[in-house]
Amino acid sequence: MQVSIKAIEEEMMYRGQRVLSYTIQYPEVSSAVFRTSAVTINRFYRAKADLYRQRLRHSLYHQAVREFDNSQENPDIPFRPFEAYLGCTITYNDNCTLSLFFDAYQFTGGAHGNTTRNSDTWDLGCGRRISMARFFKPGTMYKAYVINAVNEQISAVMESDSRTYFEDYETNAARYFNVNSFYLVPEGLVVYYQQYQIAPYASGIPEFLLPFSKEVLRPSCRKAPSAR
């Protein structure tokens, strides 16, 4: 599967002042073998990019305008232009499988912006997204396995730097575990948590690699269509 990253960019003005700038990245794929899947994936991400662009151009833009007007009425409150950046990262493209994640950053004033991550893993043979359960043997209590692996990695880090994660990390790791918050890399399956869920802002988005093993299954081509 060939993958390129496309981008939509715009600077939005109000009364001669730039109040919002944004960049939206999305993947565009092509394949002589997985043609139907490529069409499905391209439609899916182009539609998501267009929908996100509409939200930025309307709700976020109007919010930025209100903040700008407030700053004009209150000179002690300086206005800083809003920013939005949706970055796309391809993490795995092999064995009839495509995995990627998106980091959505927004700055709307304050000390710093915030980033939210979401991800997808695709079975290119059928053009459908794959769940985390697919990478474990049927009947495996994979949620408990993943949470335990996360806690073990956090515990090892906390021994040298207790500030990296919140003290109640075991409770948080279970509470905020999301079966959709994962992606693949060549070494294995990566589980992640959103900012503030299990660690301070300075720790970013916590990631935990579960290497491929007898428990964590490597992706494989179940049924690859022939080229036409």
Encode pLDDT of 166-217 as tens digits.
999 999 999 999 999 999 999 999 999 999 999 999 899 999 999 999 999 9
Beta bridge partners of 116: 104
Give mean pLDDT, residues 30-51: 98
Please give the sequence-ordered ranges of beta strands (E in DSSP) within the chain, or none if there are none: 2-14, 17-30, 82-94, 97-107, 114-123, 128-129, 182-185, 188-192, 207-211
228 band by pLDDT with thresholds 50, 70 and 90: very low
pTM reported for the whole predicted model: 0.92
11 band by pLDDT with thresholds 50, 70 and 90: very high
- Between CA 225 and CA 35 the distance in angstroms is 9
Report the mean per-residue pLDDT for the chain.
95
pLDDT at 223: 58
Beta strands at 2-14 and 82-94: parallel, antiparallel or unpaired: unpaired
pLDDT at 170: 95
Is the pLDDT at 227 greater than 50? The verdict is no
Place of tokens 């903040």: 67
pLDDT digits 0-9 by tens, 88-130: 999 999 999 999 999 999 999 888 899 999 999 999 999 999 9
**Is 127 in contact with 40 (CB distance < 8 Å)?**
yes
**Is 205 in contact with 115 (CB distance < 8 Å)?**
yes
pLDDT at 38: 98
Q: Is the dihedral of CA 107, 109, 113, 116 positive or negative?
A: negative
Is the pLDDT at 3 greater than 70? The verdict is yes
**Alpha helices (H) in the chain, listed in sequence order:** 35-55, 61-73, 142-158, 169-175
Is the pLDDT at 77 greater than 80? The verdict is yes
pLDDT at 160: 87
Give mean pLDDT, residues 140-151: 97
Is the pLDDT at 225 greater than 60? The verdict is no
Angle at 129 between CA 90 and CA 219, to 5 degrees: 70
Give mean pLDDT, residues 157-173: 91
**Alpha helices (H) in 21-141, listed in sequence order:** 35-55, 61-73
Buried b (16+ CB within 10 A) or exposed e, 11-45: ebeeeeeebbbbebbbbebebebbeebbebbbebb
- CB count within 10 Å of CB 204 equals 13
The helix/strand/coil state of 166 is coil
pLDDT at 163: 82
pLDDT at 226: 43
Q: Which domains does the chain have, with CATH numbers?
A: 2-129 (3.30.565.40), 132-211 (3.90.640.20)
Burial of 129 (0-12, 13-18, 19+ CB in 10 A): middle
